[in-house]
Amino acid sequence: MKVLMISKDASIINGGDTAERLRQYYLTWADELCVIIFSNHYEYKDLKNGLHVYTTGGNVFTQISKAIKLGKKITENNKEWIITTQDPFETGLVGRKISLENKIPWVAQIHTDIGSPFFRKELKNKIRYKIAKKILKYAQGARVVSERIQKFIIKKHFIDDKSILVAPIYPETKIVLDNNKNENNKEIHILMASRLTKEKNILLALRAIKNLRTKIQNFTLTIKGKGPQEKKIKKFIKDNSMNSYVKIEEWSSDLSESYKNTDIFLLTSNYEGFGRTVIEAMTYGITVIMTDVGCAGWIIKTGENGIVVPVGSCEYIENSLKKLITDNTLCNKIKEAGKRTAENLPEKEKYLEEFGSFFKKIYDKQ
């Protein structure tokens, strides 16, 4: 079996960790993986061990048609192929067209919560949702990153439940540290880590932090990230004289040092596919507060191994932070439950085996 992947991730062609992760996920059970990446220039690279990468060339308006043409050429007259697309949107259109014309199965991957009304607020996402709604019914299977997404696409009858795999990308780290900093009323360190974009709603967290500071002062907030809202966030911090207890640091793909110095991890997104950083934080013995997105309600259960608050609620975030900062017993209880959850995450080998088995099942149905 061979896999054709349609992607927007330009980092793949550079090799490194991204390419190695693809080898682990696909080339343990597939003979070959060809990746077509949307890009404004054409390039081909043989990254060895069965991994081939092509970029489309062309502008934003022609990349879809170029990807279709290239994908059809790669897979023509050969029934050994299965297609997978990064999303059910632009790359999904490419996968659907190649699947239809060359009569090979297509697995759509869904990494974002298309069922969230907050996702569909932006015009571009409204259009993307309409595309997904139209083409997902033609997919032979779907890999989704949370039960939340699975339930939505079943409810909407996009794909049969037997053709859906729930497979988030769990953290590589399985270390569970004995993090006991939240004792004897020491200064509490809160961490947020994400791209600084509108949907991450960092400003909501800052409003909650500002209100909380008028009641208690023994905490700091570190925001690790970069993105289009950075100037607006920095302005809010400056205008509200928060620099003494809130700081922004550059994003890093390795957050291990930050986790080691953190008591509470805070996520305030309007929507998430999964929320991997939340699970990472739990592996370091950090208590989690998150909005009701991604893995909330599935892996993170409020009052048990974390605290889940309504999306957009400044008051709930403020009150939850206050509870954890002032109630050491509650904080430790939730933290310990979170560590047990992290310890019981699926082993990578089993996870990869299920991933490969799902694709083989879809392939064998053709």
Q: Does domain 2-170+347-365 have CATH number 3.90.1640.10?
A: no
The rounded distance, in Å, linking the Cα atoms of 356 and 182 is 42
| Helix/strand/coil for 5 | strand
pLDDT reported for residue 179: 55
Rounded to an integer, the average pLDDT of 235-250 is 97
Percent of the chain with pLDDT over 70: 96
Whether residue 172 is predicted with pLDDT greater than 90 in this model: the reply is no
pLDDT of 347 reads 86
Whole-model pTM: value is 0.92
Average model confidence (pLDDT) across the chain: 94
Distance CA 226, CA 195 (A): 5
pLDDT in tens, 54-91: 999 999 899 999 999 999 999 998 889 999 999 999 99
What is the reported pLDDT for 176? 56
pLDDT digit string, tens, across residues 123-148? 999 999 999 999 999 999 999 999 99
| Mean pLDDT on 255-276 | 95
Model confidence at 253, in pLDDT bands (50, 70, 90)? confident
pLDDT on residue 110 = 98
Q: What is the pLDDT averaged over residues 293-317?
A: 97
Whether 2-170+347-365 and 188-343 share one fold: the answer is yes
pLDDT tens figures, 92-113: 999 999 999 999 999 999 999 9
Task: Report the relative pairing of strands 51-56 and 42-46 from DSSP bridges.
Answer: antiparallel
Query: What's the pLDDT tens digit per position in 4-42?
Result: 999 999 999 999 889 999 999 999 999 999 999 999 999
Q: What is the pLDDT of residues 209-230, one digit of tens each?
A: 999 999 999 999 999 999 999 9
Q: What is the rounded CA–CA span in Å between residue 146 and residue 222?
A: 27
Q: Where are the domains of the chain?
A: 2-170+347-365, 188-343
3-state secondary structure 177-198: CCCCCCCCCCCEEEEEECCCCH
Q: Which helix (H) or strand (E) holds 224?
A: strand 219-224
Q: What CATH code is assigned to 188-343? A: 3.40.50.2000
**Whose structure tokens read 């920095």?**
234
Task: Report the share of the chain in percent with pLDDT over 90.
Answer: 89
